[in-house]
Amino acid sequence: MSNVMDSTLREQINEASRVAEEFTKIYYDIVDKKKSIQKLYMDNGLLVYNGNGFQGESIGNFLKSLPDTTHQMTTLDAQPILDSSAGKSYLIQVSGTVKIYSQKSRAFQQSFLITAQDNKWKIVTDTFRLQDGICGEIKL
């Protein structure tokens, strides 16, 4: 087995990284400014937020009901889903900190599965988890 990545796979991974960077900037801007986020999710999209599930229109309603937030990404990884039945899809992994209201910043981890639909990126599934149990509050 060769350790050398072929050029096609390398380009797919590079494209996934570019898309992830652009997508997450848009996503967190919308969430932090309380704009309409429902358009980023598929109609049957799924959000699991700290173990609580939301689907379809309830996603936008839930996210708008959250207190004011400011997200700061510290790591971002992405990879293509290579199964042709998935269409053009990427798995995105984000970690960072989120400031909720005027509380101290808290570590979070978020995973997205996005897919191209009508020339736009749509969230198929989104999992968000505060990391308090792992590393506690972060003092900034």
pLDDT in tens, the chain (140 residues): 556 678 989 999 999 999 999 999 999 999 999 888 999 999 999 999 999 999 999 999 999 898 999 999 999 999 999 887 778 999 999 999 999 888 889 999 999 999 999 889 999 999 999 997 655 554 44
The CATH label, of 3.40.47.10, 3.40.630.180, 2.40.50.1070, 3.10.450.50, for the domain at 7-132 is: 3.10.450.50
Alpha-carbon torsion, ordered 80, 119, 61, 24, to 10 deg:
50
CA contacts within 13 A on the Cβ side of 75: 9
Q: What is the pLDDT of residues 43-53, one digit of tens each?
A: 999 999 999 99
Q: Give the pLDDT score at 138.
A: 47
